[in-house]
Chain A
Amino acid sequence: MPDEARPDTPPARYRLAVDIGGTFVDAVELDRDTRRIRFRKASTTPRRPWEGVLDAFDALGTDLAATELFIHGTTLGLNAILERRGARVGIIANEGLRDVFLMGRGNVPESHMYDFTYRRPPAIVARRDTVGVVGRLDAHGEVVTELDEDSVRAAARYLVEESGVTSIAVCLLHSYRDPVHEHRVAEIVREMYPHVHVAVSADIAPEHREYERTSTAVLDAYIRPIFERYVDRLETELAERSFDGHFLITRSGGGAMTSAAARLAPTTTVLSGPAGGVVGASFVARLLGRDDLISVDIGGTSLDAAVFERGEAAVVHEAELEQMPLLIPVYDIRTIGAGGGSIASLDKGMLQVGPRSAGAEPGPICYRRGGTEPTTTDAAVVLGYIDPGGFLGGDMALDVDGAREGVRVRLAEPLGMSVEDAAAGVFSVMLAKTVGAIRQITVERGRDPRGFSMLAFGGAGPLLTPMLGREVGVVEVIVPQAPSAFSAWGMLSADVAEDASRTVLRTLEQDALPDLAAGLDELAAEVTELLRAQDVTGGGEVVVQRELELRYLGQEHALRIAVGTEIADAETLRKAFGERHQQLYGHAMDNEVQVLNLRVRGVARLEQPELPRIPTGDADPAQARSGERLAYDFATGEMTTFAVYRRDLLEAGDVVPGPALVEEGTSVTVVHGDQACTVDEYGHLLIRGATK
């Protein structure tokens, strides 16, 4: 186990990554000796989530005693919140301000702006479980009213003994300036009730804005017990299987942390679902030297897109979950309700795709599980993209006639179109929705998507993204190996990371620099210590990134500017900020600049997996050709003959001209007539417009 002293043994051979999704648990094994990577799936077991993980281990059959690293992606915390299965939480706030959490910012989500009988979702804390205590700091962190410890004891007694809460979130005004009152409250509660979990807002997110900080503490208090139980259980099971390596859990904003560290900060894992894919995409971007990249992860119900600049995905420090803010680092991922299971239907004579999805049950019509509404996958079957006999490596014969019939009856006949044109229409509509969203996320950064590459993964990614790339006009679409398990694979390249931040609110001027540098040093020491304590890299190097979050005085939004251990002079910083502001917002100003937050990320680099290379061929993919079939070519708008290739037989340097289908067990890459696909040394498929 991680916290025990490890004897000097030869480096263990395997790395494992397990990603729990909505339907499947994806497991990946990396054999460091042979560089071989193996993938297996197991079914998700929502009621006893650890069982799915163990099933996935069994499916792989890896020797856990010879495994150095197990990296786990779990949405357990997220599910606990979505399903309202967390602890009963009480809140201790300032006297007169106990409603901070329940009132929030008073706003209604934009999607409900015309709903004048809007109803807030049920709160995860009841008002009866909120108490104010006497004691108050002002905006400078100065004491206005001393903390009344008797009022704290009375509050704790009420919450625990009368209300019966098992977790308490403590959030007092201006604690980001000075946590003294919060710490004392926590101390008193812990002394009185050692079994009650206490979440202290300034320890979790020492940032200004009381509602956002309170909400973060409440969510921590809410999910921690359930998260601890899960990690305990998995640790025990792993120990029983003689696992002696490190057990890491992926974080929402990149990197991973040991299970021991994750137990103390479960909120950082809450939105880690799509993070594995982003980490993997960053790895591919660096490996292939693609600075500007858009990752497109298409699963059954949704499409997740992220933008990478200089090979790194943007991280934001505030997320929202069930309308509750969460001050944690999280990848900036845009989700669109369009995936392989999205349902196509008619609304007032117009074809619509999504956001409703057939999910895994009943699923697309062609799955024969009772689905009756045509989905994107059914349209793909009609258009000849998916080989009905070879789906999931031949494990599941698809119902082509059912898919055709569904498209004919529900879409083609009412629209007065042929079955193929209606099926192609499903893709056109889905693309039209997606193109706008892709433009949005690049335009928001002041960038033109046409200079980007796209990386396609998720089960339906390779099928749809070449069309999408064609429509957006990106440079190329890259399809990695085993795209449907890419998220789990991506976790193998995760580093161990820790973040720390602090709100400072100081005008950016020369005099402030020593204090800012000292503050950053303290945060750097904090994350370094946290990483050392996790001891995953055996005392290896810790890389610390320091950032100042700056804004024009009076503005609400801020931008992060990286700084070194020595902060350059204030003028240089102001200039760097102005340039970034210009790039992102189209203008810079002469106004004063304010330092809002200090942010530090520490990264302990793990040895990165090496991608195996594939044999080099003669540019002719003939050896991989397995046949041909009729499919719909978006370049010409008609059914035409596509050459079919087996991906595992392609060789580096092969050029596959469109129209072509490149098949592998769980996905198919569709190369249209005006595109060509080149295979690189790692077996990536690079799809670009054919040179005429």
Chain B
Amino acid sequence: MSETTFVDGATASVVHNYLLSAAEEMRTTLVRTAFNPVIYEVLDFGISIYDADLNLISEAPGLTFFLGANDYAISKAVEYVGVDNLDEGDVVLMNYPFWNSAHSYDATLFAPVFCGTGAERERPFAYLCIRAHWMDLGAKDPGYVLDSTDVHQEGLLFPGTKVFKKYEPNHEILELIRFNSRMPDLVFGDLHAQVSAIRTGERRMKEVVEKFGTGVVTEVTRRLFEEGERTTRAALARLPQGSWTAVDYADGDWNTGEPLRMQCTVTIADGEMTVDFVGSHGTAVGPVNIPFGSTIAMCKVALKSLTSPDEPSNAGHARPLTVLAEPGNLFHAVYPAPTFTQWTSIVAFELIFKALAQAMPDRLGASSGGDMPGFMMVGTHPDTGRMFAVSNNEVVGWGGAPDHDGADATIHLSESIVRNTPIEVLEQKTTMLIERLEMRTDAGGPGRHRGGVGIERHIRFRGAGEFLMVVQKTKTAPWPVGAGRESEPNRIVVFPGTDRERDISTERVPVEPGDLIVVRTAGGAGHGDPLARDPEAVRADVLDGYVSREAALADYGVEIDERGEITAVRR
């Protein structure tokens, strides 16, 4: 469009609402028709709509980390395929980790939308993109891969391959997928669910263009980008200006057990934000390397939370963001680095806030428990004689915030909408007996606003099998803000009280009947001086068992007697 069309603020809002609900309707279609629970229960997907120049118009992320995750992927995939090779009705599959913002099992599908009349139809007016986690594409192990050493052990790779051509399925490619998956029915089910969602989006986009014309829609999206960029720049300008660096360590991978240095420098200046990962570890041996697209997506989430948490995102919002990580850095995986477990980014996410918190202690919270410890049990069910593989994501404490305590026992902020698995479901489907699952006294880092507490879970095994633990932050403590204090790190102890007792990180552990494993998740760190905490709040914590009487005195200087009365405040 060369000439700009005038669009009034009412029409712009109407068009914007239709564009947002197009993405929402794609989401409903995907969730409704997907085959695997990772999509419809865990919401492990991301849905986006782009304009002709691949600017994000609207999106419906499932998990937080899928915010903007498609942006990098679709630009790489369109570049690979070539715009001129795209026809109406095509659907392209791409899962090459170094272009995709994820591991190989996140399948990104995109399709061009052709709208308008005459010359307008010569190139796509928009693109629709959906990534979703597939159950199996033939990696070295079924389920999750914890110890791959190159990308070729992680499944079949597609660089940008048409699975539909002009609305017709490409049978040769589909057969290739079928012969390379352990669970082809589930994979096809999800593939078709993604295609259904894309077709829904295509219909809605065409309707909007039919109703308002390409000129109006283009003008509305131009305004959205402009306003989005303005919002971000204005919000960044209100933050402290400067440059701050933070360092933390991820546990490393199972292959070597060596901790991995993560460093990031965040700069806020002139309405822009730059996140630079220079100083971080290079390529790791095991599957903990992060594709650059994931690194960018992670930074977009941090930027959004700081500048525009309550409005729908578009390309404009992210324009003031620059992300730097040299190829070969832990945060810019290059061929043939293994990338299967993406846990490093959960831990690294808070590193950005660790850098920023130095400058804005009145705005940001302290570190949470720092991770989303996950476990899975694989075994044979005595009732059915069949194999089971059931997992759970564990809660941690969130960091103390500037004006309130951190949330107790809550899923990590990077995937906070995920729910844990009920004990009754774990016990029905596996041979685990959960003997204890309670919040841990004194687990929250002391502070004027204390960190939320983590939990302690005792898992007794009543049958043999394998216990898979995935965790990346057991070796360093969550960091506080100001005069707040650290909290104890996550700790997983296998077989306590026996001569086999030891602490583990990410590992696959064989278990026998009678065995016990204890998962202790970290609380959040504290925010501000614990001696400045309201003694009544300390007393309430003691009465509720979040803080012990000993810690009340030692950490907070509040002496509380057995009846729960304050007898002295020593500060």
Cross-interface CB contact of B17 among A108, A116, A208, A436, cutoff 8 Å? A436
The answer, yes or no, to whether B52 is at the interface (CB within 8 Å) is no
The answer, yes or no, to whether B261 is at the interface (CB within 8 Å) is no
Q: Which residues of B contact A208 (CB under 8 A)?
A: 422, 424-425, 428
Nearest-CB distance from A636 to chain B (Å)? Answer: 16
A435 nearest CB neighbor, chain B only: B21
- From B25, B35, B193, B402, residue with most partner A Cβ within 10 Å: B35
Using an 8 Å CB-CB cutoff, how does the interface string of A114-134 with B read, 1 for contact, 0 for none? 111111100000111000000
Q: Which residues of B contact A444 (CB under 8 A)?
A: 28, 32
The answer, yes or no, to whether B458 is at the interface (CB within 8 Å) is yes
Q: Does A113 contact B417, Cβ atoms closer than 8 Å?
A: yes
Identify which of residues 295-322 in chain A touch chain B, using a CB-to-CB cut-off of 8 Å.
none
The answer, yes or no, to whether B292 is at the interface (CB within 8 Å) is no
User: What CA separation (Å) do A100 and B192 show in the bound complex?
Assistant: 38
The answer, yes or no, to whether A422 is at the interface (CB within 8 Å) is yes
The answer, yes or no, to whether A102 is at the interface (CB within 8 Å) is yes
Q: Does B40 contact A557, Cβ atoms closer than 8 Å?
A: yes
Using an 8 Å CB-CB cutoff, how does the interface string of A493-520 with B read, 1 for contact, 0 for none? 0000000000001010000000000000
Binds A, one of B109-117, B166-174, B264-272, B435-443: B435-443
Using an 8 Å CB-CB cutoff, how does the interface string of A404-426 with B read, 1 for contact, 0 for none? 00000000001111000110111
Nearest-CB distance from A613 to chain B (Å)? Answer: 41
User: What CA separation (Å) do A126 and B384 show in the bound complex?
Assistant: 41
Q: Does A352 contact B13, Cβ atoms closer than 8 Å?
A: yes
A120 nearest CB neighbor, chain B only: B407
Nearest-CB distance from A109 to chain B (Å)? Answer: 8
Nearest-CB distance from B67 to chain A (Å)? Answer: 8
Cross-interface CB contact of A210 among B192, B305, B424, cutoff 8 Å? B424
Using an 8 Å CB-CB cutoff, how does the interface string of B386-425 with A read, 1 for contact, 0 for none? 0000000101001001101001111101001111101111
The answer, yes or no, to whether B11 is at the interface (CB within 8 Å) is yes
Binds A, one of B495-503, B512-520, B539-547: B539-547
User: What CA separation (Å) do A444 and B353 show in the bound complex?
Assistant: 38
The answer, yes or no, to whether B14 is at the interface (CB within 8 Å) is yes
Binds B, one of A225-233, A452-460, A582-590: A582-590
Q: A128-B545, A174-B424, A209-B424 are in contact. Are A120 and B223 (CB under 8 A)?
A: no
Nearest-CB distance from A435 to chain B (Å)? Answer: 7
Nearest-CB distance from B217 to chain A (Å)? Answer: 14
Cross-interface CB contact of B11 among A416, A428, A555, A556, cutoff 8 Å? A428
The answer, yes or no, to whether B9 is at the interface (CB within 8 Å) is yes
The answer, yes or no, to whether A240 is at the interface (CB within 8 Å) is no
Identify which of residues 42-71 in chain B touch chain A, using a CB-to-CB cut-off of 8 Å.
64
Q: Does A105 contact B419, Cβ atoms closer than 8 Å?
A: yes
Q: Which residues of A contact B21 (CB under 8 A)?
A: 432-433, 435-437, 439-440
Q: Does A417 contact B407, Cβ atoms closer than 8 Å?
A: no
Q: Does B12 contact A96, Cβ atoms closer than 8 Å?
A: no
User: What CA separation (Å) do A139 and B423 show in the bound complex?
Assistant: 10
Nearest-CB distance from B440 to chain A (Å)? Answer: 10
Q: Does B37 contact A425, Cβ atoms closer than 8 Å?
A: no
Nearest-CB distance from B64 to chain A (Å)? Answer: 5
User: What CA separation (Å) do A116 and B306 show in the bound complex?
Assistant: 9
Q: Which residues of A contact B40 (CB under 8 A)?
A: 556-557
Cross-interface CB contact of A97 among B189, B223, B402, B438, cutoff 8 Å? B438
Q: Does A209 contact B411, Cβ atoms closer than 8 Å?
A: no
Q: Does A128 contact B544, Cβ atoms closer than 8 Å?
A: yes
Q: Which residues of A contact B565 (CB under 8 A)?
A: none
Q: Does B427 contact A144, Cβ atoms closer than 8 Å?
A: no
The answer, yes or no, to whether A554 is at the interface (CB within 8 Å) is yes
- From B13, B413, B436, residue with most partner A Cβ within 10 Å: B13
The answer, yes or no, to whether A443 is at the interface (CB within 8 Å) is yes
Q: Does B353 contact A116, Cβ atoms closer than 8 Å?
A: yes
The answer, yes or no, to whether B10 is at the interface (CB within 8 Å) is yes
The answer, yes or no, to whether A261 is at the interface (CB within 8 Å) is no
Cross-interface CB contact of A99 among B8, B28, B189, B438, cutoff 8 Å? B438
Q: A96-B458, A102-B439 are in contact. Are A422 and B10 (CB under 8 A)?
A: yes
B231 nearest CB neighbor, chain A only: A348
Q: Does B185 contact A589, Cβ atoms closer than 8 Å?
A: yes
Q: Does A115 contact B544, Cβ atoms closer than 8 Å?
A: no
Q: Does A429 contact B427, Cβ atoms closer than 8 Å?
A: no
Identify which of residues 536-556 in chain B touch chain A, using a CB-to-CB cut-off of 8 Å.
543-546
The answer, yes or no, to whether B20 is at the interface (CB within 8 Å) is yes
B196 nearest CB neighbor, chain A only: A586
Q: Does A432 contact B9, Cβ atoms closer than 8 Å?
A: no
User: What CA separation (Å) do A429 and B8 show in the bound complex?
Assistant: 12
User: What CA separation (Å) do A425 and B12 show in the bound complex?
Assistant: 10
Q: Does A417 contact B10, Cβ atoms closer than 8 Å?
A: yes
Nearest-CB distance from B157 to chain A (Å)? Answer: 27
The answer, yes or no, to whether B120 is at the interface (CB within 8 Å) is no
Q: Which residues of A contact B423 (CB under 8 A)?
A: 97, 100, 173, 210
User: What CA separation (Å) do A96 and B17 show in the bound complex?
Assistant: 49
Q: Which residues of A contact B24 (CB under 8 A)?
A: 436, 440
The answer, yes or no, to whether B322 is at the interface (CB within 8 Å) is no
A556 nearest CB neighbor, chain B only: B41
The answer, yes or no, to whether A106 is at the interface (CB within 8 Å) is yes
Q: Which residues of B contact A105 (CB under 8 A)?
A: 419-420, 422
Q: A415-B10, A428-B14, A555-B37 are in contact. Are A139 and B301 (CB under 8 A)?
A: no
The answer, yes or no, to whether A70 is at the interface (CB within 8 Å) is no
Q: Does A425 contact B407, Cβ atoms closer than 8 Å?
A: no
Q: Does A429 contact B64, Cβ atoms closer than 8 Å?
A: no
User: What CA separation (Å) do A103 and B394 show in the bound complex?
Assistant: 11
The answer, yes or no, to whether B180 is at the interface (CB within 8 Å) is no
Q: Which residues of A contact B424 (CB under 8 A)?
A: 139, 173-174, 176, 208-210
The answer, yes or no, to whether B29 is at the interface (CB within 8 Å) is yes
Nearest-CB distance from A172 to chain B (Å)? Answer: 11
Q: Does B422 contact A587, Cβ atoms closer than 8 Å?
A: no
Q: Does B33 contact A587, Cβ atoms closer than 8 Å?
A: yes
Q: Does A138 contact B407, Cβ atoms closer than 8 Å?
A: no
- From B14, B418, B545, residue with most partner A Cβ within 10 Å: B14
Using an 8 Å CB-CB cutoff, how does the interface string of A203-216 with B read, 1 for contact, 0 for none? 00000111110000
Q: Does A127 contact B546, Cβ atoms closer than 8 Å?
A: yes
The answer, yes or no, to whether B16 is at the interface (CB within 8 Å) is yes
Q: Which residues of A contact B416 (CB under 8 A)?
A: 107-108, 112-113, 118
User: What CA separation (Å) do A12 and B196 show in the bound complex?
Assistant: 58
Q: A96-B437, A174-B427 are in contact. Are A113 and B64 (CB under 8 A)?
A: yes
The answer, yes or no, to whether B284 is at the interface (CB within 8 Å) is no
Q: Does B10 contact A348, Cβ atoms closer than 8 Å?
A: no
Q: Does A114 contact B305, Cβ atoms closer than 8 Å?
A: yes
Nearest-CB distance from A571 to chain B (Å)? Answer: 20
The answer, yes or no, to whether A194 is at the interface (CB within 8 Å) is no
Q: A210-B422, A505-B428 are in contact. Are A436 and B301 (CB under 8 A)?
A: no
Nearest-CB distance from A447 to chain B (Å)? Answer: 11
Q: Which residues of A contact B433 (CB under 8 A)?
A: 138, 144
Nearest-CB distance from B83 to chain A (Å)? Answer: 30
The answer, yes or no, to whether A5 is at the interface (CB within 8 Å) is no
The answer, yes or no, to whether B72 is at the interface (CB within 8 Å) is no
Q: Which residues of B contact A112 (CB under 8 A)?
A: 416
User: What CA separation (Å) do A349 and B427 show in the bound complex?
Assistant: 55
The answer, yes or no, to whether B227 is at the interface (CB within 8 Å) is yes
Task: Name 25 interchain pairs, CB-CB below 8 A, sorted by A.
Answer: A97-B436, A100-B437, A108-B407, A114-B309, A114-B310, A116-B365, A118-B398, A119-B401, A119-B407, A120-B407, A127-B546, A138-B427, A173-B423, A349-B227, A350-B223, A352-B13, A435-B21, A440-B25, A443-B25, A554-B37, A556-B37, A556-B41, A587-B189, A589-B35, A589-B189
Question: Could you list which residues of chain B lie within 8 angstroms of chain A, going by C-beta atoms?
Answer: 8-14, 16-18, 20-21, 24-25, 28-29, 32-33, 35, 37, 40-41, 64, 185, 189, 192-193, 196, 200, 223, 227, 230-231, 301, 304-305, 309-310, 353, 364-365, 384, 393, 395, 398, 401-402, 404, 407-411, 413, 416-420, 422-425, 427-428, 433-439, 455, 458, 543-546
| Besides A115-B309, A116-B364, 7 new A-B residue pairs in contact (Cβ under 8 A), listed by A number | A98-B438, A106-B419, A127-B546, A174-B424, A208-B424, A433-B17, A585-B33
Question: 4 nearest interchain CB pairs?
Answer: A425-B10, A436-B21, A96-B436, A432-B17
